[in-house]
Structure 1
Amino acid sequence: MIKSPVLVCLVSLSLVSALTACSQPQPPAQQILSKPLLGQQLYFDTNLSQQRTQSCASCHAPEQGFIDPRDNGVNGAYSLGDDGHSLGDRNAPTAAYALFSPAFHLNKEGRYVGGQFHDGRAGSLADQAAGPPTNPAEMGMPSKAATVERLLENPLYVAAFKSIYGEQIFSQPEQAYAAMADSIASFERTELFAPFDSRYDRYLKGEYKLTPQEELGRTLFFSQQFTNCNLCHQLNRSQRHPQETFSNYEYHNIGVPTNFKGRALNGVAAATQDLGLLNNPRVDDPAQAGKLKVPTLRNVAVTGPYMHNGVFQDLRTVILFYDKYNSRSASRQINPETGEAWGPPEVAENISWQELETGPALKSQRIDALVAFLETLTDRRYEHLLENRVAQ
């Protein structure tokens, strides 16, 4: 028996309707007989977790830039599992614009690129969607077959799956589970996840004029003479590309310190190293230890905390952290959030020194300008979150 009905009455893919879960009955079966709309229902369905408390949207909430908006007792650094006590050891990355990450591969320069999750272990969106339901620390279902049993509880799902994937889709749990992940991935490829309508996008179209501070930040960001930002956070060489995702999807170790406060609460030993790419079963090269995927900067101003382990709360802190590699100022060697030194890298090997030490030290005015520019990368529907942050 279904414990609670799916409450998401999303019968169109409009950005307005798709951002809010409605307390209405589930839509008629004929209205979800497409992959994106079926995936939409699955994305918000808490019945696909062991205790029926958690859905994809719990950790990737559409109204909050597709991150986990909950504090979880760790200042948002890690997500809380369906069991009510399990905490992860990585910050949930935004699902926005994730569709643009290429399949995980080794490029012609010998660098790993693409995939999903911080270590690329999921080669595609569907692979990623298949992970959380059976992860004990996330949605906690005991098996794929048990998850499919939850799908079978819902006659509307049964009708939709058979219509989209064929009458025999439930004959084998593995194929039904794969179809579920495929549907969710189809939803994640819709415009809801990648509207490209930020102030920066409107600037490219001539619909918005950057402020002097934002323009300075834009100039600094795209200039390797003054910053190292675009070495990793620019995919297309044209500064006016209409669908710039602000990530080259490569992997780097930038010397991020351990989140000791978070680990004091999640039970992971403080000395444990997050080996990044070496957690990917397709990688066994020790030279990849500690390297993690370059994230998109789309919505970065409203999707903190930052870094793979959520160790920094403020976006300005992140830029100051980068600047410590080039500045001789004593103040730049201090984390403003703790008042103490930044701390040693969690993984001291394989740091991307060439990228990190490119460019001069930055004065405060330029750091503020970079923050202002990064704020222009916020999707239109999240601009109120910027205002709320300033008000706080």
Structure 2
Amino acid sequence: MRFVLAALIGLAGFGSARAQDAAPYDSLADWGAALFFDADLSAARTQSCATCHDPARGFSDPRPGAVSLGDDGESRGARNAPALGYAKFAPPFHRDETGAYIGGQFHDGRARDLAAQAIGPMMNPVEMALSGPEQVAQRVLEKPRYRASLAVLGGADPSDPEAVAALTAKAIAAFESEPQFSSFDSKYDRFLRGEAELSDQEELGRLLFFSQQFTSCNACHQLRETPGAANETFTNYAYHNIGVPANPDLLRAGQAPDRGLLDNPEISDPALAGKFKVPSLRNVALTGPYMHNGVFSDLRTVLLFYNSFNSNRAERQINPETGQPFGPPETPGTLSRAELERGPALNDQRIAALEAFLRSLTDQRYEGLLSE
């Protein structure tokens, strides 16, 4: 009798688990979390959103290489995967009152918002490599809990692949808008709230960063009107050509020179070639390699590169990662010289101070990684 009762309890538990498998998620964000980590949403079922946007590494790609490895284990994209932390604050791609392009997702703003960003890699042939909305829908409909969530959380018709794919993207975007992606609890944030003190070096870096006399950092990397305002994203979401050299490794692999904003399907003006969206500096100490093409591995190298525009000294033109002069701009004719050639050259002490300040922008949960 006890055996029969135990068996019945076991069957009841099994039935409960099966019911849970078919129950809809409580919210779009909860469903989006499952989708974000689901490798079945790539052609070979080897890669999820989290593969290139690892939550343990500031939602960036921790794997070796200047650009991310694709689902097939061989293909590589043309650009460094942008970190997804704080991405929700980027405004939709648009032109501002001066006519300048602002916002969007990806390095060239081709995705208007987070939902468009979420679906793009799934159907990119060198990334997750699904063939189109039909295959996205097919993979989503494989899971009973996903099927149940379609109707309850968005009213998507399972027979409409476009609607299924759109709701899938919307759910991932909802997850990417959760507080864990943008905690605003770095040492710098705690300093602003009176909960932490910056070191002397970090404080010097802070003063330099926001200075109108010594650097031009905040000309592009400040959104709030007042320096030191709370919840600063450290980007104005504008587009600039800062003279980044081509990545020799990508050229050797057959990559054509990157045209930046001009590769956005909405853009046709050659004067915008080579311009890329200003990235957030949140968690920047952890999210290398740097620049759209991953040409620099070290954060200090990035600062030295910027400094090279304001120094005539030969040694200040050297890339410490190669021992050779910084290469010429990948796109030479459209540089934002007014922003680049602003302020005096900085000595090593001030370069180190700026780096220390940038490291203070690391979310609290990642601070242990700074000593690696």
> TM > 0.5 between the two?
yes
On the 8 A contact 1:126/1:182 being kept in 2, the answer is: yes
Matched, 1:43 2:36: yes
SS of corresponding position for 1:159: helix
Match of residue 268, structure 1, among 254, 259, 267: 254
CA distance in structure 2 between the aligned counterparts of 1:131 and 1:116, rounded to whole angstroms: 10
Match of residue 327, structure 2, among 304, 328, 343: 343
Q: Please identify, of 347-356 and 237-246, the stretch whose mean Cα deviation from structure 2 is larger.
A: 237-246
On the 8 A contact 2:24/2:148 being kept in 1, the answer is: no
On the 8 A contact 1:245/1:296 being kept in 2, the answer is: yes
1:153 Cα offset (Å): 0.8
CA distance in structure 2 between the aligned counterparts of 1:116 and 1:139, rounded to whole angstroms: 18
Q: Which residue in the other structure is 1:162 paired with?
A: 151
1:169 Cα offset (Å): 2.3
Matched, 1:309 2:287: no
Q: Which residue in the other structure is 1:137 paired with?
A: 126
SS of corresponding position for 1:305: coil
Which residue identity does 1:137 align to in structure 2? V
Q: Please identify, of 169-178 and 36-45, the stretch whose mean Cα deviation from structure 2 is larger.
A: 169-178
Q: Which residue in the other structure is 1:222 paired with?
A: 210
Give the structure with the higher percent helix. Answer: 2
1:215 Cα offset (Å): 0.3
Q: Which residue in the other structure is 1:253 paired with?
A: 241
Match of residue 365, structure 1, among 349, 357, 360: 349
On the 8 A contact 2:24/2:152 being kept in 1, the answer is: no
Deviations 1:302-355 (A, max 9, x none): 111101000001000000000000011111111111000101110001100000
Deviations 1:212-251 (A, max 9, x none): 0000000000001010100000001212311100000000
Q: Which residue in the other structure is 1:119 paired with?
A: 108
Match of residue 82, structure 2, among 93, 106, 125: 93
Matched, 1:194 2:182: yes
RMSD of the TM alignment (CA)?
1.5
CA distance in structure 1 between the aligned counterparts of 2:190 and 2:18, rounded to whole angstroms: 37
On the 8 A contact 1:89/1:263 being kept in 2, the answer is: no
Deviations 1:6-31 (A, max 9, x none): xxxxxxxxxxxxxxxxxx99975557
Matched, 1:66 2:59: yes
**Closer, same or farther: CA 27–287 of 1 in aligned 2, 3 Å:** farther
On the 8 A contact 1:33/1:163 being kept in 2, the answer is: no
CA distance in structure 1 between the aligned counterparts of 2:350 and 2:342, rounded to whole angstroms: 16
1:273 Cα offset (Å): 1.6
Q: Please identify, of 113-122 and 28-37, the stretch whose mean Cα deviation from structure 2 is larger.
A: 28-37
On the 8 A contact 2:21/2:144 being kept in 1, the answer is: no
CA distance in structure 2 between the aligned counterparts of 1:297 and 1:91, rounded to whole angstroms: 15
Query: Percent sequence identity over matched residues?
Result: 56
Gap regions ≥5 residues in structure 2: 1-16
CA distance in structure 1 between the aligned counterparts of 2:293 and 2:48, rounded to whole angstroms: 22
**Closer, same or farther: CA 25–371 of 1 in aligned 2, 3 Å:** farther
Match of residue 277, structure 1, among 261, 264, 271: 261
Q: Which residue in the other structure is 2:9 paired with?
A: none
Q: Which residue in the other structure is 1:322 paired with?
A: 306
SS of corresponding position for 1:236: coil
Q: Which residue in the other structure is 1:106 paired with?
A: 95
1:380 Cα offset (Å): 0.5
Match of residue 241, structure 1, among 216, 221, 229: 229
On the 8 A contact 1:120/1:277 being kept in 2, the answer is: yes
On the 8 A contact 1:278/1:288 being kept in 2, the answer is: yes
Gap regions ≥5 residues in structure 1: 1-23
Matched, 1:208 2:196: yes
Matched, 1:290 2:262: no
Which residue identity does 1:332 align to in structure 2? R
Deviations 1:146-173 (A, max 9, x none): 111111110011111221112x521211
CA distance in structure 1 between the aligned counterparts of 2:345 and 2:63, rounded to whole angstroms: 35
SS of corresponding position for 2:208: helix
SS of corresponding position for 2:310: coil
1:262 Cα offset (Å): 3.5
Q: Which residue in the other structure is 2:49 paired with?
A: 56
CA distance in structure 1 between the aligned counterparts of 2:117 and 2:237, rounded to whole angstroms: 16
Deviations 1:79-135 (A, max 9, x none): 011011101111001000000000001111121000000000000000111101111
Aligned length: 356
Q: Which residue in the other structure is 1:80 paired with?
A: 69
Which residue identity does 1:350 align to in structure 2? T
Which residue identity does 2:32 align to in structure 1? G
Which residue identity does 1:32 align to in structure 2? Y
On the 8 A contact 1:66/1:96 being kept in 2, the answer is: yes
Which residue identity does 2:71 align to in structure 1? D
Which residue identity does 2:36 align to in structure 1? Y
Which residue identity does 2:280 align to in structure 1? T
Larger radius of gyration: 2
CA distance in structure 2 between the aligned counterparts of 1:109 and 1:340, rounded to whole angstroms: 39
1:195 Cα offset (Å): 0.4
Which residue identity does 2:310 align to in structure 1? N
